[in-house]
Structure 1
Amino acid sequence: MFKEEKINEVKTKKKEWEDGTLGKALAKFPERKKAFKTTSGIEVKRLYTPEDVKDIDYNEELSFPGEYPYTRGVQPTMYRGRLWTMRQYAGFATAEESNKRYKYLLSQGQTGLSVAFDLPTQIGYDSDHELAEGEVGKVGVAIDSLKDMETLFDGIPLDKVSTSMTINAPASVLLAMYIAVAEKQGVTPDKLKGTIQNDILKEYVARGTYIFPVQPSMGLITHIFEFCSKNLPKWNTISISGYHIREAGSTAVQEVAFTIADGIAYVEAAIKAGLDVDQFAPRLSFFFNANNGLFQEVAKFRAARRIWAKIMKERFHAKNPKSLKLRFHTQTGGCTLTAQQPDNNIVRVAIQALSAVLGSTQSLHTNSKDEALALPTQDSVRVALRTQQIIAYESGAADTIDPLAGSYYVEALTDETEKKAMEYIKKIDELGGAAKAIEKGYVQKEIEDSSYEYQKEVESGEQVVVGMNKFQIEEEPPKGLLKVDPSVGERQKEKLQQLKAERDSKAVSEKLTALENAAKKGDNLMPFIIDSVKQYATLGEICDVLRGVFGVYK
């Protein structure tokens, strides 16, 4: 990018500056730290110059937006054409209450829905199961059957909105319910737009809401890939998630590396199942964390796009340009929020959201200030949404594409992030791939070590968390927090009893038996799950059938 003689001139001038101007300043005012680094442990130099990016080939490594390797974004016009989807994650208590929250968010300018399910739903249990006691509706909405799903989207036209569902082990069941609700609205599957998370590998290392062993879980995912490629062409069949890996304590580099390694595993599984890479790869999507460290996060997003494009082209020989594009949703970092001085979280979220926009995300959720204490109130959710809208309409960050490109620091950091992430991916390949690396405990150990190191820095004060380990104040106990009515669980049980009394039990039994036989034979299970939910078989009943065939992961 630069002529060698010009680089040498810069090196000479830099040396003069270090010996003169800088040396005098340091003698009077020493720097705050002996060494500066990103949260991924990458050294941050005092100053970046053209020398740090002299080896970058613009056409090969950056190119233009919408063109390989997509470092500068997957769309030619990015936000000048259309802003990112503002998709606030929401769901609590019953389907009726969550429906009201969705309608409120849509009325306030949200442009997509994102469904949070309660823990029993996430691990395939109905609300009347003994293990669901005390957890119904607490961290998301309780969905036991198609009846609940009908209520959840009542009055919301599914051909007009894009819906994301954070569900993994029972993703096939919730997708089947969504398809059935749409059909009742007169919306055919080919019109549906949205995403299911459907990323089981990260559950084994970072989140824990798994049900079945690894191999049958991977099989269910490939069933969804195949079914959607034929029937739901606008649906994103998986959201390969680095978010929870980061929340578990990984660094930014590890988040990229382990997420893309999982993505490689899903592509390999689908190809092994007989699918052509260009048949399913265009509908793969990703989910990343926007954490503290503005420039590291921007570099992370840019490096991730470049890595994925190269892997899809060089390793999997994808021909369709859409197969090479890493499209991603971003959520601001929940683990960065503090219960102390929660108003500070508004500032944290704003900076994190800005990093996602500067890094060219396709959709964004901004956390609410009170989420370290409880589920967010309606007022705090509105402030979180307004944060996105202010960035979109007032900051100017969306007016040009990849605005930090060409920054000596950001380009050098992007290169270093890519290099270190590829070192991890190579190591995982040597271990036999992501699934094997998880079974051997490698990924978990790396995350645990990073989490431990960060916690030590916080406790020693080396890492300042404003309002928590520095700049503390005396605070009154928090007021006005959202509390889920403990009677939610009893109401859900009553609804389940009524459903089972009214439905055609013989038809339910027949469909569940057909599902069981299909699972034993290795057939694609999506059509059988859809048939079951249409007869109002419950989530727990369907998952119990599959537990009986596949077993459970321990």
Structure 2
Amino acid sequence: MGDKTTDSGINIQAFYTNNTPGFAPMTELPGEFPYTRGVQKDMYRGRLWTMRQYAGFSTAEESNNRYHYLLSQGVNGLSVAFDLPTQIGYDSDHPLAEGEVGKVGVAIDSLADMELLFKGIQLENVSTSMTINATGFILLAFYVALAKKQGADLSKITGTIQNDILKEYAARGTYIYPPQPSMRIITDIFEWCAKELPKWNTISISGYHIREAGSTAVQEIAFTLSNGKAYVQAALAKGLDIDVFGKRLSFFFNAHNNLFEEVAKFRAARRIWANIMKQLGATDEKAMMLRFHTQTGGSTLTAQQPLNNISRVTLQTLAAVLGGTQSLHTNGYDEALSLPTEEAARIALRTQQVVAFESGVTDTADPLAGSYFVETLTSQVEQKALDLMAKIDAMGGSISAIEQGFMQNEIARSAYEYQRNIESAEKIIVGVNKFVVNETNQVPGFKIDDSIRDLQTAKLQSLKQMRDAQQVQKSLDAIAHAAAGSANLMPLVIEAVENYCTLGEISDCLRRQFGEYR
């Protein structure tokens, strides 16, 4: 059969024994430093992972309907997708928003939209993850303002904002400001939440989009953990306590189809991160634990024979659970064709529930521990990731490596190699380059109408007529003044959104102060 390798270039042997180079017997227990075997002693025997479904499209009202449906089906955590204008700081009526409003997520222009998005949902009773980066601080301000209107106790509010701008420069592109002011905003969030929103995860350091852009599993954790290290160093430079903000750092990883490499990746990532945090001065166990959300691999889904994607998502779900995830989103089988339909979202959720309640993999912590293959592979992934991270450190860290184009070039090279292997059939993708059938697509699509922009524009016009224009200007001036100095921006942004300043107005205010990254 010839040599076998993972996509990360790790050679796979025909079999493994206790004498295989790289194998070390596992002596640590789950819940013990460096947490290779998981962050809890009893893992899923004590509590299952949070089952999230990523959803958001069209208007706030439409997305609210989907959230109520998902909650009725057994979801215990919401995950909000935002449209492109919201992600890059433009209101729906901005000329650059044309054709994009409500398409890849929900359009949120103001606190009024946030009120509609969570209508009938008490924020104190639900954990919400928001996939938002450059404008994450504004969306967090909307969420906090709404929680206050609901009379919620902010000390009980739980959830996460992605807030990971470094991977935007390297892999995704929804940035606004240059790296340094962006890092300032992120550390302002760390500082404010430590005092006011203690249970909120202030960042979800994301390897997901790095993997979606074409990286290998090793590159995914090496680049993600390097970015995490840069955020920690920025917070330390601001004088923040690593044992306080370190507990609120979370991560976001991808799950692809190579089951054992993915499990090894998650185990290795925990081990590397625990040692990084210890080296940087953390002494609190919880500040050294790598807690992560997983999403199944969108880029692995095929438009050809789309029902095969259910099998792929099941494999990826198993990888995430065997790897010890704290939270999981499973993709709809139709996502290579359109936004997921209600049926596809339900099947994706049921996949998690079948694994949780029928498979037996949750009965014991880290069930693959001690496997000659898995332990050797964990060590190999760890070493390759550490070698790559050492290169980044030698360049001066993540920001410097991104500015030099190193991460971008490495991801592009891996993406090219992966695609070349598919086209040469060295890598088999079922239904794409082998086991192909002539088919007519019978999967119902889910499309968003362009009229959404008109609805959002009308809402914005109505909002601007009813709000206090003088208070709006006063709020924006206060943000501009604080941005020119060193004051924490979060209290002023929360006050601004409570006065119904829009996302675009706040973003533009900071564009004038910080400039835009080109």
Q: After TM superposition, is the score higher than 0.5? A: yes
Partner Cα separation in structure 2 for residue 477 and residue 293 of structure 1: 27
Contact 1:304 1:418 in 2 (8 A): yes
Instruction: Please report how far the alpha carbon of residue 303 of structure 1 lies from its aligned counterpart in structure 2 after TM superposition.
Output: 0.2
| SS at structure 1 position matched to 2:361 | coil
Partner of 2:502: 538
Deviations 1:62-114 (A, max 9, x none): x1111101000001111001100001100000000000000100000001000
Instruction: Please report how far the alpha carbon of residue 54 of structure 1 lies from its aligned counterpart in structure 2 after TM superposition.
Output: 7.3
Residue 35 (structure 1) aligned with residue 3 (structure 2): yes
Contact 2:23 2:376 in 1 (8 A): no
Residue 441 (structure 1) aligned with residue 411 (structure 2): no
Amino acid at match of 2:266: F
Aligned partner of 1:324 among 288, 293, 305: 288
Instruction: Please report how far the alpha carbon of residue 274 of structure 1 lies from its aligned counterpart in structure 2 after TM superposition.
Output: 1.2
Pairwise CA RMSD: 0.9
| SS at structure 2 position matched to 1:461 | coil
Residue 412 (structure 1) aligned with residue 376 (structure 2): yes
> What residue ranges of structure 1 are gaps of 5+ in the alignment?
1-30
Partner of 1:207: 172
Partner Cα separation in structure 2 for residue 478 and residue 511 of structure 1: 52
Contact 2:25 2:370 in 1 (8 A): no
* Alignment: residue pair count: 518
Taking a change above 3 Å as real, the CA distance of residues 444 and 503 of structure 1, as seen in their structure-2 partners, is same
Deviations 1:237-284 (A, max 9, x none): 000000000000000000010000000000000001111211200100
| SS at structure 2 position matched to 1:98 | helix
Instruction: Please report how far the alpha carbon of residue 58 of structure 1 lies from its aligned counterpart in structure 2 after TM superposition.
Output: 3.5
Residue 44 (structure 1) aligned with residue 12 (structure 2): yes
Partner Cα separation in structure 1 for residue 181 and residue 224 of structure 2: 20
Question: Which residues in structure 2 correspond to 1:131-146 (within 5 Å)?
Answer: 131-146=96-111
Instruction: Please report how far the alpha carbon of residue 57 of structure 1 lies from its aligned counterpart in structure 2 after TM superposition.
Output: 5.7
Contact 1:428 1:434 in 2 (8 A): yes
Partner Cα separation in structure 1 for residue 23 and residue 409 of structure 2: 35
Taking a change above 3 Å as real, the CA distance of residues 405 and 57 of structure 1, as seen in their structure-2 partners, is closer
Contact 2:26 2:375 in 1 (8 A): no
Contact 1:125 1:540 in 2 (8 A): yes
Partner Cα separation in structure 1 for residue 304 and residue 458 of structure 2: 39
Deviations 1:185-238 (A, max 9, x none): 110321110000000000001110000000000000000000000011100000
Residue 426 (structure 1) aligned with residue 394 (structure 2): no
Residue 253 (structure 1) aligned with residue 253 (structure 2): no
Instruction: Please report how far the alpha carbon of residue 522 of structure 1 lies from its aligned counterpart in structure 2 after TM superposition.
Output: 1.9
Partner of 2:80: 115
Amino acid at match of 2:191: E
Partner of 1:307: 272
Partner Cα separation in structure 2 for residue 385 and residue 52 of structure 1: 39
> What residue ranges of structure 2 are gaps of 5+ in the alignment?
none
| SS at structure 1 position matched to 2:159 | strand
Amino acid at match of 1:142: A
Contact 1:70 1:306 in 2 (8 A): yes
Deviations 1:421-466 (A, max 9, x none): 0001111000000000000001111111111111100000111110
Contact 1:53 1:411 in 2 (8 A): no
Contact 1:53 1:408 in 2 (8 A): no
Question: Which residues in structure 2 correspond to 1:189-204 (within 5 Å)?
Answer: 189-204=154-169
Contact 2:23 2:372 in 1 (8 A): no
Taking a change above 3 Å as real, the CA distance of residues 241 and 53 of structure 1, as seen in their structure-2 partners, is same
Contact 1:353 1:388 in 2 (8 A): yes
Taking a change above 3 Å as real, the CA distance of residues 57 and 406 of structure 1, as seen in their structure-2 partners, is closer
| SS at structure 1 position matched to 2:435 | coil
Partner Cα separation in structure 1 for residue 307 and residue 443 of structure 2: 13
Partner Cα separation in structure 2 for residue 77 and residue 505 of structure 1: 55
Partner of 1:68: 33
Partner Cα separation in structure 2 for residue 349 and residue 57 of structure 1: 31
Instruction: Please report how far the alpha carbon of residue 52 of structure 1 lies from its aligned counterpart in structure 2 after TM superposition.
Output: 1.9
Taking a change above 3 Å as real, the CA distance of residues 54 and 181 of structure 1, as seen in their structure-2 partners, is closer
Aligned partner of 1:179 among 144, 160, 181: 144
Partner Cα separation in structure 2 for residue 53 and residue 402 of structure 1: 22
Question: More displaced, 471-480 or 36-45?
Answer: 471-480
Instruction: Tell me the TM-score normalized by structure 1.
Output: 0.93
Amino acid at match of 1:188: D
Partner Cα separation in structure 2 for residue 391 and residue 319 of structure 1: 35
Instruction: Please report how far the alpha carbon of residue 479 of structure 1 lies from its aligned counterpart in structure 2 after TM superposition.
Output: 4.2
Taking a change above 3 Å as real, the CA distance of residues 54 and 433 of structure 1, as seen in their structure-2 partners, is closer
Residue 84 (structure 1) aligned with residue 49 (structure 2): yes
Aligned partner of 2:416 among 447, 452, 456: 452
Residue 240 (structure 1) aligned with residue 175 (structure 2): no
Partner of 1:342: 306
Amino acid at match of 1:77: D
Partner of 1:127: 92
Partner Cα separation in structure 1 for residue 313 and residue 259 of structure 2: 11
Amino acid at match of 2:202: T
Contact 2:22 2:379 in 1 (8 A): no
| SS at structure 1 position matched to 2:79 | strand
Partner of 1:466: 430
| SS at structure 1 position matched to 2:4 | coil
Instruction: Please report how far the alpha carbon of residue 478 of structure 1 lies from its aligned counterpart in structure 2 after TM superposition.
Output: 3.9
Instruction: Tell me the TM-score normalized by structure 2.
Output: 0.99
Partner Cα separation in structure 2 for residue 339 and residue 258 of structure 1: 29
Residue 158 (structure 1) aligned with residue 123 (structure 2): yes
| SS at structure 2 position matched to 1:371 | coil
- Matched residues, percent identical? 64
Partner of 1:100: 65
Partner Cα separation in structure 1 for residue 25 and residue 231 of structure 2: 31
| SS at structure 2 position matched to 1:274 | coil
| SS at structure 2 position matched to 1:271 | helix
Contact 2:267 2:323 in 1 (8 A): yes
Partner Cα separation in structure 2 for residue 111 and residue 266 of structure 1: 29
| SS at structure 2 position matched to 1:165 | strand
Contact 2:236 2:242 in 1 (8 A): yes
| SS at structure 1 position matched to 2:163 | coil
Partner Cα separation in structure 1 for residue 351 and residue 78 of structure 2: 17
| SS at structure 2 position matched to 1:115 | strand
Instruction: Please report how far the alpha carbon of residue 538 of structure 1 lies from its aligned counterpart in structure 2 after TM superposition.
Output: 0.1
Residue 389 (structure 1) aligned with residue 357 (structure 2): no
Partner Cα separation in structure 2 for residue 159 and residue 53 of structure 1: 51
Deviations 1:326-381 (A, max 9, x none): 00000000000000000000000000010000001000000000000100000000
Amino acid at match of 2:227: D
